[in-house]
Amino acid sequence: MRCLKVSLSLGVAASAMLASATLAQDAQTSDDAMNLEAVVVTGGAQASEPAGTVTTTTTGRTTLDDRQIDDIGDIGRTEEAGVSFNRVNNSLNIRGLDGSRVLTTVDGVRVPYLLDATRGASGGIDTIDFNALSSLDITRGADPLLGSGALGGVLAVRTLEPGDLLLGGRRIGALSKSGYDSTDRSWFTSNAVALRAGDTTALLQGSYRGGHETDSQGTIDAIGPARTEPNPRDYDTYSLLGKLYQDIEGGHRLGITAEIYHRQDDFETRTTQSETGTYRRGDHFSGEEVERRKVALSYDYEAPARGEGFLDEARAVLYYQGIDRNSTVDARRTGTLPGIFTRDNSNEEEAFGFNAHAAKDWQLGSLDQRLVFGTELRTAKTTQYSAGIDGCLVTPSNRSCGNLHTNQADTPEVESNLVGLFAENETRLFGDRLRLTPGIRFDWYENTPELTPEFESSAAYDGTLPDASSDTAVSPKFLAEYDVAPGLTLYGQWSRGFRAPTVGELYSRFGAVGTYLRIGNEDLEAERSNGFDAGIRAGDEDLGGRLNVFTTRYRNFIDTVTLAPPGGLYPQGGVSSYENIPDARISGVEFAGHVRFLDHWRARASLAYAEGRNLTDDTYLDSVSPLTAILGLGYEERWWGGEVSTKLAARRDKVDDGFKAPGYGVVDLTAWVEPEALPGLKITGGIFNLFDKTFYDAVSVPDSRSQPDLYYSEPGRAFKLNAIYRF
């Protein structure tokens, strides 16, 4: 911890010296409407970040609105083939990996994937308000310069900036969006206002959404294992975003950002109820409460004249971020464990961090170069606790209550520290036709458990505190791009990545003698990847496409294993833990293309296929999606437009124990109109699953299923209607 505190202090000092150095350069008056270079790679900062991520695609605000992309699940439905939202563990699945193997960043700050390995609460990506976004990037495959977690890919989102509303030099601008989604019978409203006063700009944005359970094709409203309808659900979400910037002559900008997202879910868990069992009809309810808070101080710099100063671009962010996840149960037991049964299982992380990077164009002889370098410093504290009430007590004559483990921590309090340093340099040759970009990142991480009274009171506590877990990682990459002809580029990329073990994988401990035991493994090694991408990019906005083939080898995959079968001290479920799988591989192909024709028409296509294997056991990886494709045909004029699109998926049969999802094809229809008589107003609407097809998203169906298949099916025919007003 002391090492990282020193590093954070040095980082803040470096930021101050960076600002001083650039402020000391010859000042040049900037325009009132100062625009920093747009980001087209992952990370979300204002200034350019590490270049050379050839598998990144960007989706802007207009596309999000026109195609009715209102949450993360909509991305894979209509925009990105091969990308899915896994509702089982609340994470994005890219190239067959999800959970903590896919990194999420909001404005360049990582959002951790929190997993309560013993109580079931998990997620991270589900703490983002899509109505607060200006754009998002999806990177397929590892991005080594972003550090731990970017193995399967990266979702990098950027929130609205004052400049997104202050168009045309306006001093005040506003954006309002409201709508309805029949998928979960939800209403929402999102409103933002931005102001400019001289060199000061500000933005305030807020959203609210309230709705119910997500629909499926199940129609049996029973209780217990025969139920196919979703469990009844009520939810509410709200979010607030505030930004304040001060432009300073010479290309400098200081800023402060505050953000909060909160969601409350309440379920009547009818799948757990029965007429004669432990939980009778109306006796079992559950819920989840999630909150993410962030405050950040930022400094941005863009040189008035590129190439003349010490730096061309720079960005530094000092932030605090807190994330809380609480899963609850409110029930009454009948039978051998009678009485009230409540649980409030919390998993929290509080983090302080400093991110900084800078860019400089320079020359080596006659060769143009671009150097990007930076750092990530982060310290976090993770706590887990289960509070509850049980209607029975453990006595010599009633051992059955020994399964009711609560009012305890299943993991110790853990302090996590991270220091990352990265750099890459692009060299341009042959009139910029050939570009070579080597890059490297160094990481040091450490997880240190601390004994607490809550952990000591655990029924599974064995009197010892696990050891600290630390390691270093060196993640290089090399990208080569060659313009064969104008608008036609060949490329190849080699990259390595890693993922540090999570707190739960290292230190969780749940169970008791006489029942079962689930334990972490403090000796886990970080997962490693070694990947190759090769492909071609061609064309422009009117006619273009990309084709990419990839193969990635993974070492030390972390998986759940059985250490001892039921029996002995643990007769109910034995002993299970985590171990590293020595060898796995995922390979595949990705394609996207588009064409404009006959003035107003546009066609697009996206395709993805991957196959994953556990090479150690010679089995398939069950988390990999089948061959999928998205095809769209749209028409657009000045005041209106629309698109019909279809998502096609092949049958998924290359699985080990996973769900063999049948193939499907679903059709969506979206349209928008901007009434000429009402400038600034835009109405968008859509009908989804037009033909009411029964289908399954393979990655959202759990391997072990307690309900009939229809319970896990995707929504049937649904519609959305949104009204957007900008002024």
User: Average model confidence (pLDDT) for the chain?
Assistant: 89
Instruction: Classify residue 192 by burial, with Cβ atoms within 10 Å: 0-12, 13-18, 19+.
Output: buried
pLDDT value, residue 233: 97
Q: Which domains does the chain possess?
A: 2-301+314-466+478-726 (2.40.170.20)
The C-alpha atoms of residue 413 and residue 450 are separated, in whole angstroms, by 5
Q: At residue 556, does pLDDT exceed 50? A: yes
pLDDT, tens digit, 9 for 90 and up, residues 635-666: 999 999 999 999 999 999 888 888 899 999 99
Q: At residue 395, does pLDDT exceed 80? A: no
Q: Once rounded to an integer, what is the mean pLDDT over residues 117-125?
A: 72
423 in Cβ contact with 371 (< 8 Å): yes
pLDDT value, residue 72: 87
Helices (H), 176-299: none
The C-alpha atoms of residue 109 and residue 354 are separated, in whole angstroms, by 9
pLDDT, tens digit, 9 for 90 and up, residues 497-512: 999 999 999 999 998 8
> What amino acid occupies position 626?
P
Q: Once rounded to an integer, what is the mean pLDDT over residues 582-591?
A: 94
Residue partners of 568: CB distance under 8 A and separation at least 6: none
Q: Count the alpha carbons within 13 Å of 94 in the hemisphere toward its beta carbon.
A: 28
Q: At residue 50, does pLDDT exceed 90? A: no
Residue 198, token pair as written in the block: 């001289």
How long is the chain?
Answer: 727
pLDDT value, residue 88: 85
Of 112-116, 491-495, 664-668, the range with the lowest mean pLDDT is 112-116
pLDDT value, residue 398: 57
pLDDT value, residue 30: 33
Judged by phi (left if over 0) then psi (alpha if -120 to 50, else beta), residue 169 lies in: left
Confidence band (pLDDT; 50, 70, 90) for 9? very low
Query: Look-up: residue for tokens 């697009």?
Result: 604
pLDDT, tens digit, 9 for 90 and up, residues 295-306: 999 999 999 887
Q: For the residues of 556-569, what is the DSSP string, one character each?
A: EEEEEEEEE-SBTT
Residue partners of 106: CB distance under 8 A and separation at least 6: 44, 128, 157, 159, 259, 294
Higher pLDDT, 559 or 593: 593
The C-alpha atoms of residue 231 and residue 277 are separated, in whole angstroms, by 18
Q: At residue 40, does pLDDT exceed 80? A: no
> What amino acid occupies position 168?
G
Query: Look-up: residue for tokens 């590293």?
Result: 580
Q: Once rounded to an integer, what is the mean pLDDT over residues 271-290?
A: 94
Q: At residue 436, does pLDDT exceed 80? A: yes
- Classified as helix, coil or strand, 29 is coil
Q: Once rounded to an integer, what is the mean pLDDT over residues 341-347?
A: 93
pLDDT value, residue 44: 33
pLDDT value, residue 336: 75
Note the pTM of the prediction, 2 decimals.
Answer: 0.90
